[in-house]
Chains A and B, each alone.
Chain A
Amino acid sequence: MPLTYALLVLAAPASGHASLTAARFARALLARGHSLQRVFFLDDGTLTGLASAVAPQDEQAPLQQWVSLAEAQQTELVLCISSALKRGLLDSAEASRHERPAATVHPAFELGGLGLLVESAQTADRLVTFG
């Protein structure tokens, strides 16, 4: 029976490889026929959305893994807005609002409130956390 999943990612993309594991888990659950409602990035997890991250040649870039997933599956990738702002992750609207020189978030990600995580807790069949 197909289930609806939501993922909560708290780990920074460059710390350990929880972010890569989460992306692999996302692909694996889709391969098993389940659906992925959204991935909610909170706390240091919001750093995943930094558009300018450059991974070394011999490493997989978490950013690229998540972007590919979003492009292939239209997966909703949400950065918790309060965590994101604090870490310098701004989209164009926030960059304007806070008079910062540029948007720093990759377009595959959107900024959103914790209400979306709460909604996932209520509506998804499975909520899996990666810290």
Chain B
Amino acid sequence: MLLHTVSRSPAHSALRDCLAVLGPDDAILLLGDGVYAAIAGGEGAALLAGSGATLFVLEADAALAGVQERLLLPGATVVDDDGFVALTERYGRQLAWY
């Protein structure tokens, strides 16, 4: 079980590269510019929805980016820093995409 952290906007190759190797038990945490991929209706969101990935968004970064909760694609779970750590407890390995 891998936690993939994506921190570039969906215009970059990071998200696509990540989705290409995403395993069925893996999860994605969007942080930094990665949160923009969670905006419902965007191409990034379409890719994420299509992948069926378990999706998390880092709260502080979504707030910083102005990506309010109501803009997020359905199925995205917002986590705070404590939640981020909890994800790394659960998913024993992490891979950063940037």
Contacts and interface: CB of A to CB of B under 8 A. Distances in A.
Q: Find out whether A and B make contact in their complex, taking CB atoms under 8 A apart as touching.
A: yes
Given A18-B7, A25-B81, A126 B33 contact: no
Main SS of chain A's interface residues? mixed
Given A32-B86, A131-B7, A24 B98 contact: no
A34 interface: yes
Contacts of A28: 81-82, 84-85
A126 B86 CA distance: 12
A131 B98 contact: yes
Interface residues of A, number: 22
A16 B8 CA distance: 10
A31 B81 CA distance: 10
From B60, B64, B81, B84, residue with most partner A Cβ within 10 Å: B81
Interface string A1-45: 001010000110000111001001101110110100000000000
Main SS of chain B's interface residues? helix
Nearest to A130: B96
16 contacts: A5-B88, A10-B98, A11-B98, A17-B32, A18-B7, A24-B60, A25-B81, A27-B81, A126-B89, A126-B92, A126-B94, A129-B5, A129-B96, A130-B96, A131-B7, A131-B96
Interface of B: 5, 7, 31-33, 58, 60-61, 64, 81-82, 84-86, 88-89, 92, 94-98
